[in-house]
Amino acid sequence: MTRSAVAVRALRVAALPLLFLPFACVADGHPLGTDGAVEIRVAVAGPLFASDDLDKNGHPTGARQTPFTTDVVLKITEDDEPAHGAFIAVRVEPAEALTIRSAGDATQEGAVDESGENPTCTLVDGAFRCRGNDAGLARLQLVSDSDWSGTANLVVSWANRTEEHDIVVLPAGLPLEATNFNLVGLSTGEEIAPTYLALECSVDSLPSDLGSKWPEGRIRSRELFVRATPPSSTPTIVQNAPVVVESLTSEGALSEDASCTTRTTRLRILFDQKGETPRFFACFSDLGGDVSFGVHSGQKVIDPGPEITVLPEPRLLRVRVVDGKNIVPIDFSPVDIFEVSAFDVTLRAIQVPLDLSTTGGNSLVLESASAVTAPENAAPVQVAAVPNEEGMSQLVVTPRLLAMPECKSTTITVTP
């Protein structure tokens, strides 16, 4: 026998006692060999949800839509037997998609090693490693810990082999399978009427400033909420799902307060377990115009969003006597005596329907009991009356079908 053969035989003999020491080397861990296999069992059958509310460090904050985490059990075998002590490497591609952690509940299958004290999956030298316990099981946790969404790949590797499993991460919010997603309280084509609460009267000159288009304590608003129905297969995923409502035009805003004192153009709110958000408010400026809103949640979008017309809030109503007509003789023909104009907060002429009447009995008889003021760049509307009998009279103007506010002209004297 050669010297080299003797040496090899000596090594084999020296190794024999190890065969009779159960788990003497595997208990401390050894890499899973090429004859090993790994079965991946993911606890959550469906997708996870990303976060859309991150703190300054990029970590989720606030209530989360579930599920955003899942346990994964790895069944590790060698030659179809539990691979006690065999370890494998675990990673996620891309790395930012999901965070890998040790199992959170030590009582769950495969969470701890045979001693009952140490997690079977943990970070070792910067990489995540899982080691089979005496049943050949290891357990880890995957967490959606950012706003990343897409399809992530859980990769388990050992020797020259890999096993993979796709994990879908949806954007925070409603999945495509959700139904009845709508904004309640506003419908396309609606008109928001003026209140006339800020209307002032003038008989001649215009002021230089009429204040803010968002008058504190007098902002028009409408109560709203968003609702949705979750998929029947996963009824709990709607709770804490975020929905974003946006005002897409400058004359509309959003607020959590009916007074609209604090306003924003973008409001993020959460669905409750019934699939409804808390009530909030759409706010409308006194300038008015076409106002539209956008609503989206995860994979669901209300398209097109509601588009409404906000009528401008009249701020000034001018009832002016035409130059030289303060004194008119009796004449049984109609005479243009007054002109009426209405203005918004920027002193732009706007159209306002008006009711007309006079004081002083039959001194002045109006040709019409109503009028609509002229728009911008048009001549003011003339109001004709018949000087019917001697006396004194004023033109009385109110917004149509309203008794107040009431604006009166200066006095007209009808002479014989």
Check the CA dihedral 369-373-379-380 and report its sign.
Answer: positive
Of the pLDDT bands very low, low, confident and very high (cuts 50, 70, 90), residue 29 is confident
Of the pLDDT bands very low, low, confident and very high (cuts 50, 70, 90), residue 400 is very high
The CATH fold assigned to 316-415 is Immunoglobulin-like (2.60.40)
- Res 204: pLDDT: 87
- Asked whether the predicted pLDDT for residue 21 surpasses 60, the reply is no
The CATH fold assigned to 25-170 is Immunoglobulin-like (2.60.40)
Answer whether 25-170 and 179-310 agree in fold: yes
In terms of Cα–Cα distance, which of 129, 141, 12, 150 is closest to 72? 141
- 104/192: higher pLDDT: 192
Answer for the pair 370, 359: CB distance below 8 angstroms, yes or no: no
Round to the nearest angstrom and report the end-to-end CA distance of the chain. Answer: 153
- Asked whether the predicted pLDDT for residue 23 surpasses 90, the reply is no
**With respect to CATH, is domain 179-310 assigned 2.60.40.10?**
yes
Average pLDDT over the chain, rounded to whole? 92
- Asked whether the predicted pLDDT for residue 12 surpasses 90, the reply is no
404 alpha carbon, distance to own chain's centre: 40
Instruction: Give the length of the chain.
Output: 416
Domain spans of the chain, in order of start: 25-170, 179-310, 316-415
**What does the pLDDT average to over 219-228?**
98
- Asked whether the predicted pLDDT for residue 147 surpasses 60, the reply is yes
Q: H helices within 317-404, ranges in order?
A: none
**What does the pLDDT average to over 377-406?**
95
Q: What is the pLDDT of residues 249-272, one digit of tens each?
A: 999 999 999 999 999 999 999 999
Q: What is the pLDDT of residues 81-93, one digit of tens each?
A: 999 999 999 999 9
- Res 26: pLDDT: 37
Of the pLDDT bands very low, low, confident and very high (cuts 50, 70, 90), residue 332 is confident
